[in-house]
Structure 1
């Protein structure tokens, strides 16, 4: 069982996934800080000292903090958009790397040349 676990845990895909989770968590914290500490205070200043996170509704003595929920949605949208931009940037770089060099013209031997001509003539006759 231990050997099977080592094979599973040390596969490239599992390690890549673990690294992606750690980087994603750190990236999420950075974007959350950006939203909470820079963007939302700036929005609050522009709207006259208003803060989404402070929105509450009191119902039977219980405070429903729907502003914190709205703040989480805003955080999610900004994080998702940021990840979209990063992935888009990586795919642009990857596409540039994946573009094949100009293909060399295919050299046909005599038999292939004759077969190509016959095929072309037969297709013309069908029309």
Structure 2
């Protein structure tokens, strides 16, 4: 009995893995990890110098002091520069993943869906046409039987 259940379990697991959401998540994680170095380089090589033209080149050095004096580790500092750097990295990564992976895949899937609908639409027309022909044949046979019964 356990032998019969194993293929069902494996088939269920395979179906789970092949669902679009799991595959999409795996692709997003792999692509996101692959773009991490590129995004970090863009932030450090382009965005930080642009921000540095206004102030300092290192975003991590931007902070605000909440206490009366902030020197070294004393005082309460809000390190909003590092949050800004992480946010920029996230936005760039999300944009690259969206525009290079998600958007083209969505367009491709939409084209496949349109083709499938077009094929189903032509099948329905053929089926309706065949049904109409069968109805006409039935009506003709009923009419012939009716006329044949009247002659007897």
TM interval, short-chain normalised: 0.5 to 0.7
- Please name the residue that 1:123 is paired with: none
CA distance in 2, matches of 1:36, 1:80: 17
Closer/same/farther in 2, CA of residues 111 and 11 from structure 1, 3 Å limit: closer
Closer/same/farther in 2, CA of residues 98 and 66 from structure 1, 3 Å limit: same
> 1:71 is matched with which residue: 85, 89, 92?
85
Where in structure 1 are there 5+ consecutive unaligned residues? 115-127
Number of residue pairs matched by the alignment: 106
Closer/same/farther in 2, CA of residues 112 and 38 from structure 1, 3 Å limit: farther
- 2:89 matches 1:82: no
Closer/same/farther in 2, CA of residues 113 and 33 from structure 1, 3 Å limit: farther
> 1:57 is matched with which residue: 56, 59, 64?
64
TM-score (structure 1 length as normaliser): 0.56
- Bigger Rg over Cα: 2
Higher helix share: 2
CA distance in 2, matches of 1:20, 1:74: 18
The secondary structure found in structure 2 opposite 1:74 is helix
- Please name the residue that 2:108 is paired with: 93
> 1:32 is matched with which residue: 37, 40, 47?
40
- Please name the residue that 2:30 is paired with: 22
Where in structure 2 are there 5+ consecutive unaligned residues? 1-5, 139-152
CA RMSD of aligned residues (A): 3.7
CA distance in 2, matches of 1:26, 1:43: 25
The secondary structure found in structure 2 opposite 1:99 is helix
CA distance in 2, matches of 1:44, 1:30: 20
Closer/same/farther in 2, CA of residues 83 and 113 from structure 1, 3 Å limit: farther
The C-alpha deviation readout for 1:30-57, integer Å capped at 9, x for no partner, is 2232222223323433xx3444432123
